[in-house]
Amino acid sequence: MKISQINNRGSDVKKYEIFRYKSELDVDSSDAKKVSLIKREILKWISKRSGSNLPKTAWNFDKFELLSGGRTTLGCNILDEDINLWAVTNDDPDKKIPQRTWTTEISLYELNKSLNLTLRLIVNTSEDNIVISPHIPGVIRQIIDKGIKIKDGKFNIENRIIEVKTKEMAELLVEYLSDSSRKFPAIVLSGDERFGNDFPVHFNKFYCDSLQKSLSGLVNIFKIDSDLTYLISDSFGKTRSVFNGAARIYFPGFDYDSDPFSHYLYFSNDFIKEPKKTFDNIRLAIAKRSVRSNQLWKEIYPFDEIRSLSLQKEQESSGGATEKEKLRIAEERISSLTKEILSAREEQQSWYHVSLSEEERAINSERQLYATRLRIELLEKQLSDRGIDFDDKIPNPSSWDDFSEWVDNSFAGRLVLTSLARKNLKKPEFRNYNLAAAALKWLATECRNIRKSGGQSLANIKISENLFNAPCGTDEFEFEYRDRKISVDWHIKNGGNTRDPSRCLRIYYSYDEATQEIIIVDMPQHRRSSAS
């Protein structure tokens, strides 16, 4: 065999992973009746795509192999004191596009007395660029329809669109969105007050039902009345909310200081102009995130690897078998290992191309961000040279109620509030929000400019008659922000020695060299420390 033959092996067919799914079912793994029900539903779904009737061994949940009409359907299990795992896979040629084959891998395994379901949807094709509307296999919907619940943190995945029409329901939605144990995305569709609180025509039954069906078991979808969206705005800020007939995807990990651009917002006009394309983009975003967020070989295992391990265990326990039987098992295992190696190579090539694309996108984004910042600073300098101070035009907030939103709108890219600061800004005891606003204006402008230039010392600077900037001293502390620790070593305080929370202002902050942002970690009251 020539080296060129090795290099070209499998190069005509490309593998694209569309969905990668893992869920914990609300089923005790010792409940044999329910476990059997789930396996039978999976086999019913697989049998419709296998081209022939499944063998009896399949319905007994044993190892099986079926080749029929260009389709390959396999099943295996691993059962010992360490693992109880059952898995099936099916190759199904596309009914419309030649040389395109869909592979679905499904496994069911026990972990900590709970039952876990995993699924991978892969398309194998010679096409250089594949354009599809992602649709998760209906087997998950089929299982839910049998009364099997899928856990999502403290909640469950619903096989319906959830109508949010009361304040109590809206409060539950806010709790769900910020639940740190949530594993699945949430899609929120908002009513539009311009339509008299009705949902706009683009959220009609056809489009919404199609979206729910295509992502069944993978997301919770909510429709919230427009007059209740203020609860989302009040909880997370207007930049993280959804209103006026828009839709938003809230991915797992969302909280009070999440980057709003990481939780995709689709405006009303997007749906009005191109409804199908916009709904497809939502499905595509969910599908891509499912592949990125579920790690292979950790909780989801490729079928080829499961089958190889199953054959290995069969080979190890075949001591009393005939030589012919041992040879058959060995040949099966060699064939399985060969497929596993080729599959791993395809997987590596697929992710290599994805990583190149993502790296290029990241580099371009950083370049554009850097260029935008330079452009903004240049425009600000030109305005300043003409005697125009843009920041002087920023009005103060009207109350504590809109303080967080005022910060987001006034100082984007210069100053940010953490979730702790946002939480403490809700109905604080400190009364003078105008004084706090003046302090943040100074931080976002003069203080930030000094930190960027590495200029004069900031120690004990008098900002105004009643405001001073100083090191935290014994109040210094570390804070985890965006998956890293930052040192909070500066604070702003007002004059006087009072610790009366209604009159004592404290703003604890840090400066991020990478993003050139002032990070407000806590405000507006005094923190408790070893010196308190």
Q: Please name the CATH architecture into which domain 11-148+296-355 falls.
A: 2-Layer Sandwich (3.30)
pLDDT surpasses 90 at 39: yes
From the list 411, 507, 422, 431, the residue with the least C-alpha distance to 467 is 507
**Alpha carbon 421 to its chain's center:** 24
pLDDT surpasses 90 at 232: yes
pLDDT surpasses 70 at 206: yes
Structure-token match 């100053």, residue found: 415
Residue count (the chain): 532
Question: Pick the residue with more confidence: 493 or 393?
Answer: 493
Question: Pick the residue with more confidence: 441 or 338?
Answer: 441
Average pLDDT on 450-470 reads: 83
Q: What is the mean pLDDT of the chain?
A: 84
Buried b (16+ CB within 10 A) or exposed e, 211-236: bbebbbbbbbbbbbbbebbebbbbbb
What pLDDT band is residue 7 in, cutting at 50, 70 and 90?
very low
Helix, strand or coil for residue 219? coil
Structure-token match 């044999």, residue found: 32
Q: What is the pLDDT of residue 2?
A: 41
Interatomic CA distance for residues 193 and 507, integer angstroms: 37
| Lowest mean pLDDT, pick from 49-58, 261-270, 286-295, 473-482 | 473-482
Q: What is the pLDDT of residue 249?
A: 96
Q: What is the pLDDT of residue 343?
A: 61
Contact 223, 200 (CB under 8 A): no
pLDDT tens per residue across span 49-99? 998 999 999 999 999 999 987 799 999 998 876 778 999 999 999 988 888
Phi, psi angles (nearest 5°) of residue 357: -65, -45
Interatomic CA distance for residues 229 and 236, integer angstroms: 11
pLDDT tens per residue across span 339-372? 655 566 566 656 556 565 666 666 666 666 666 6
pLDDT tens per residue across span 521-531? 999 988 865 44
Paired with 104 in beta bridges are 90, 121
44's torsion region: left (phi>0), alpha (psi -120 to 50) or beta?
A: alpha
| Lowest mean pLDDT, pick from 89-98, 131-140, 450-459 | 450-459
Residue 454 in tokens: 């590495």
**Alpha carbon 208 to its chain's center:** 21
Give how far Cα 353 sits from Cα of 348, 359, 489, Å.
Answer: 9, 10, 43
Residue 335 in tokens: 């064939």
Domain span(s) for CATH 3.40.30.10 in the chain: 150-273
What pLDDT band is residue 299 in, cutting at 50, 70 and 90?
confident
Interatomic CA distance for residues 333 and 337, integer angstroms: 6
Domain span(s) for CATH 3.30.530 in the chain: 11-148+296-355
**For the sheet containing 467-471, what is the strand order?**
415-417, 517-522, 506-512, 490-494, 467-471, 461-464
pLDDT surpasses 80 at 334: no
Q: Which fold has domain 150-273?
A: Glutaredoxin (3.40.30)
